[in-house]
């Protein structure tokens, strides 16, 4: 079974600074997807970014980028120019079994605080 580990329960960053959230996963599959979701106090789960395992290039979405290290099974999220609205719980998630819809396996989350 796949597992996702987020070893940082809490992180804080100064507004306008950069922060990196860590995620590691364990799988025997060769093709899969990885995601970062954001959950603000409203508790809505919002997709931040996704990475296809077969792509070597790291995904980027505006101020959000990932460092995907397939051999190390590591998938970290970098937030540049942090804003107050970035404060939320961040979940790393894994989806495997190509060719069919499968459930997401989530990490335990990292609570990000942005300091003004």
Partner 1 sequence: DAGVIQSPRHEVTEMGQEVTLRCKPISGHNSLFWYRQTMMRGLELLIYFNNNVPIDDSGMPEDRFSAKMPNASFSTLKIQPSEPRDSAVYFCASSFSLQGFKIYTQYFGPGTRLTVL
Nearest to 16 by CA among 112, 88, 81: 81
- Pick from 25, 36, 37, 75: which binds partner 1 (CB under 8 A)? 37
Cβ-based nearer residue to partner 1, 28 or 100:
100
Size of the site for partner 1 (CB under 8 A): 24
If one counts every other C-beta atom within 10 angstroms of the C-beta of residue 65, the result is: 17
36 binds partner 1 (CB under 8 A): no
Would you count residue 108 as binding partner 1 (CB under 8 A)?
A: yes
What's the CA angle centered on 57, arms 25 and 114, to 5 degrees? 65
Work out the burial of residue 41: count CB atoms within 10 Å of its CB; fewer than 13 is exposed, 13-18 middle, 19 or more buried: exposed
Q: Which of residues 44-103 bind partner 1 (CB under 8 A)?
A: 44-47, 50, 52, 91, 95, 98-103
**Footprint on this chain of partner 1 (rule: CB under 8 A):** 33, 35, 37, 42-47, 50, 52, 91, 95, 98-104, 106-109
């Amino acid at each position: 079974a796949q597992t996702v580990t987020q070893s940082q329960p809490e992180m804080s960053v100064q507004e306008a600074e950069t922060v990196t959230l860590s995620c590691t996963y364990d799988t025997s599959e060769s093709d899969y997807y990885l995601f970062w979701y954001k959950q603000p106090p409203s508790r809505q789960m919002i997709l931040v970014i996704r990475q296809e395992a077969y792509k070597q290039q790291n995904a980027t979405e505006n101020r959000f980028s990932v460092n995907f290290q397939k051999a190390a099974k590591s998938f970290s999220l970098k937030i540049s120019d942090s804003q107050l609205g970035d404060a939320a719980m961040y979940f790393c998630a894994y989806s495997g079994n190509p060719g069919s819809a499968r459930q997401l396996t989530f990490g335990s989350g990292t609570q990000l605080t942005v300091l003004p």
